[in-house]
Structure 1
Amino acid sequence: MLRVLLLSLLLFSTFSQSERLTVAFGIDKPPFVMGQTRTGLEIDIFREALAVRGHDLLVVHLSNNKLQRALEAVPQLDAVTTQKPLPDSPWHFVDEFTYYHNFAISRQTDHLQIEQISDLTNYKVIAFEGAGQFLGPDFRRLFARDGSHTRHYQEIASQRRQMAMFWTGKAEVVVADRTVFDWYRQRMDMQLHTDEPVSYHDIFPGKTWYGVYFRDAGMARDFAEGLAEIKASGLYDLLYQNYTE
């Protein structure tokens, strides 16, 4: 945490045109957004990127399915997070704000052979809700609702329950973002034996990036410049590490 603070202080500078931006984040996507507490990895990254250009952040929470149309529906908002670019959008998009990197994760003591997506058909698998539609055509063909290998496959809406099922042996493989998995692993250590070594099988496409839509082009530019600076300095990676180490 001290390293993060020092880097943040080095990057921060005050501008006469500093402003406070009202920005919409989702709800309850730990560790990216912690419930409705105005804390989490997404919020830390956003605040640090704004601070580089002297701006401040006011956090509001909206349900995840309302974020996409929030700038149109709520005139007081300056930006909305965790978005994909849309054709013909009137707003100003900044890409590569945060990312998810999904893995198939197994206990090393099980010695599972997982080198490609089709290998998952040999095991009991749990995944995050929507994974069957999200993880590419090969995964969809096997594990979507109408897929050919759904008998030993289950999608769980609650990530905490998903992790508990994995650590109690009710599933051999969990499909999850690594940051999410590592965060829950730390916090469930008192209830479950989560210190057992695991293997991260990198069988899915790489990182899935999400961006931010801004109402104002100038603010989008300031944010993009600040985001680039905290990435170049190493602060961006340290913020991710704060939630997983």
Structure 2
Amino acid sequence: MRIAALFTVLLYSFIASSEQLDVVVGWDKPPYVMSADHSGFELELTRAILKELGHELSPIYVPFGRTARLLKDDAVDIALTLNKAHKVSADILSDPYVVYQNVAVTREDRNIKVNGLASLRGKSIIAFQTAKNVLGKEYGNTLASQPNYLEMARQDRQVNMLMLGSVDAVIMDRNIFSYFKAQNDAYADDAVTIHELFPVSAYCAGIPNPKLRAQFNATLKKFFEDGRYQALLTRFRLENLFDKLVEQQLHINES
């Protein structure tokens, strides 16, 4: 009886310590976020980390610009895909858990030489929505102001337009490009050239609760060390960009 009573106490203790956490995340960004089945690399990683901590992830999908606002309003437990540029306190940000890199992509058979943004002047270009606002003043002055420049919310259509020859170049995250290109058998094997014109960007989770944030960081570190992080990247066919982040930081420190 004592053993049964002890088991009951431990069970209720576990239930009491676990909870469903509201996690706010931007709209669809395959393969990082796929709201239709609550999947994607960022959601799956966060879900696995929270599960290890005894919690359940409850996703809330919002336009990307509202993520930081909900966090500031104390309306959610965790907000994904944030960094210091999003006007949230650095004190509540987790360690970086994902790295993005916007690039310019051209078809290899077009043989377009790109040595910098100026090389794309005069070319037809399609970019992700808000690119001219987030990629810097030089980008806006050099490319976004020209008449054959367009921004589009549907990134699968960006890839289609490049691969079918409607534009000379696309500007988007390299992993998102690779994901959509691989989905279409008509051009999945066609060669492209990746032009690394922009730096890599690390993103964190906004977690106001200091205890939860420390637990998240410790568990994320375990995922890096035991191979679970890389296994999840491989599952979603993502290139691991953390090495590029380290190289970039070393270059900055040496400058």
TM-score (norm 2): 0.77
- Contact conserved, 2:117 with 2:143, CA < 8 A, in 1? no
The separation in 2 between residues aligned to 1:63 and 1:156, in whole angstroms, is 15
Considering fraction of residues, name the structure with more helix: 2
Aligned to 2:171: 175
Aligned to 1:154: 150
Aligned to 1:201: 195
What do the CA deviations read for 1:40-90 (whole angstroms, capped 9, x no partner)? 111011122334444432223233232112134464x31111122366749
Alpha-carbon shift at residue 21 of structure 1 (Å): 2.4
> 2:226 is matched with which residue: 216, 220, 233?
233
Aligned to 2:80: 81
Aligned to 2:116: 116
Amino acid in the other structure paired with 1:223: F
Alpha-carbon shift at residue 18 of structure 1 (Å): 4.5
- Contact conserved, 1:27 with 1:36, CA < 8 A, in 2? no
What do the CA deviations read for 1:144-202 (whole angstroms, capped 9, x no partner)? 3xx3xx1222211211211111111001111111110111012122xx32310111111
What do the CA deviations read for 1:16-48 (whole angstroms, capped 9, x no partner)? 554442212222222211135321111011122
Aligned to 1:24: 24
Larger radius of gyration: 2
Aligned length: 223
Alpha-carbon shift at residue 130 of structure 1 (Å): 1.4
Q: Structure 2: which 5+ residue stretches go unaligned?
A: 1-12, 239-255
The separation in 2 between residues aligned to 1:125 and 1:238, in whole angstroms, is 34
SS at match of 1:80: strand
Amino acid in the other structure paired with 2:196: D
Amino acid in the other structure paired with 2:162: F
Which one scores higher on RCO, CA 8 angstroms, separation ≥ 6? 1
Amino acid in the other structure paired with 2:159: M
- Contact conserved, 2:49 with 2:216, CA < 8 A, in 1? yes
- Contact conserved, 1:48 with 1:230, CA < 8 A, in 2? no
The separation in 2 between residues aligned to 1:54 and 1:79, in whole angstroms, is 15
- Contact conserved, 1:117 with 1:204, CA < 8 A, in 2? no
Aligned to 2:57: 57
TM-score (norm 1): 0.80
Aligned to 2:159: 163
- Contact conserved, 1:19 with 1:56, CA < 8 A, in 2? yes
Q: How does 1:136-147 map to 2 (within 5 A)?
A: 136-144=136-144, 147=145
Amino acid in the other structure paired with 1:204: F
The separation in 1 between residues aligned to 2:88 and 2:123, in whole angstroms, is 43
SS at match of 1:215: coil
Q: Structure 1: which 5+ residue stretches go unaligned?
A: 1-14
For the pair 1:221 / 2:214, whether they are aligned, the reply is yes
The separation in 1 between residues aligned to 2:26 and 2:151, in whole angstroms, is 21
